[in-house]
A = this chain, B = another copy of it.
Amino acid sequence: MDTKAFYKLSYGVFFLGVKSGDKVNACITNTCIQVASNPTRIAISVLNNNYTCELLKESGSFAISLLDQDATFDLIKHFGMQSGRNVDKMAAFQLPTDDNGNPYLGWAACAVLSGKVVSSQDLGTHTLFIAEVTDAKVLSDKDPLTYADYQNHVKPKPEAPKEDRKIVGWRCKICGYVYKGAELPGDFKCPVCGHSADDFEPVYE
């Protein structure tokens, strides 16, 4: 099995916003597909470890913003590489909300879909949610940001290894988790997203 084959799958990049009671959070995901028409259904997959996933299981509704070519690494880093359990990601923003109070992006997104969960399936690392689409809006005429665009143009290039600098950690290229230590065990699995040591890149001192 060559896991590099999975890198050839095409995805978008999404801002998943959820409100549950008075708790509001958002994370960055890369899986949202239309899975049926008439009635329209979409499927999204969300990391079980994510606070947004916990809120979504409570609320059963979400707004998913489709990032466009204006999306920056700082935006993705803010919402995608820290947890709403530790940081109030929404504090600095006044985001628009859908009819269920779920936040969406008023910039850097070309469309937003509001979903009401009709079924879910726990797949270990992630839960797959199937949702009825209750609203859909086009937000810009920019092209959507693909996950390949993110990897090739948005994400900062990894630093070139330098012989005089020590490796002090390893960063998961998928979710941003950082393992502290010079050597990453070959059988290491990311505790956040479950990806293997192949998906880590060095962090230099």
- Name the CB-closest residue of B to A4: B138
The verdict on A87 contacting chain B, using a C-beta distance below 8 Å, is: no
Contact B5 A138 (CB under 8 A): yes
Report the Cα distance A118→B95, complex, angstroms: 39
The number of times this chain is found in the oligomer is: 2
Q: What are the residues of chain B within 8 A of A31 when measuring CB–CB? A: 33-35
Q: What are the residues of chain B within 8 A of A34 when measuring CB–CB? A: 6, 9, 31, 45
Report the Cα distance A121→B123, complex, angstroms: 14
The verdict on A1 contacting chain B, using a C-beta distance below 8 Å, is: yes
- Which stretch in A17-25, A51-59, A107-115, A163-171 binds the other chain? A107-115
Q: What are the residues of chain B within 8 A of A112 when measuring CB–CB? A: 5
Report the Cα distance A193→B195, complex, angstroms: 35
Shortest C-beta distance, A175 to chain B (Å), equals: 10
The verdict on A144 contacting chain B, using a C-beta distance below 8 Å, is: yes
The verdict on A137 contacting chain B, using a C-beta distance below 8 Å, is: yes
Q: What are the residues of chain B within 8 A of A146 when measuring CB–CB? A: 10, 146
The verdict on A12 contacting chain B, using a C-beta distance below 8 Å, is: yes
Q: What are the residues of chain B within 8 A of A130 when measuring CB–CB? A: 121, 123, 128
Interface residues of A, Cβ cutoff 8 Å to B: 1-6, 8-12, 31-41, 43, 45, 66, 68, 110-113, 119, 121, 123-126, 128, 130, 133, 135-138, 143-144, 146-148, 189, 193-196
Give 20 new A-B contacts, CB below 8 A, not counting A11-B33, A36-B45, A36-B194.
A1-B133, A1-B136, A4-B111, A6-B113, A8-B12, A8-B138, A9-B34, A10-B11, A10-B12, A10-B144, A31-B35, A35-B43, A35-B45, A35-B123, A36-B128, A37-B126, A37-B195, A37-B196, A144-B148, A146-B146
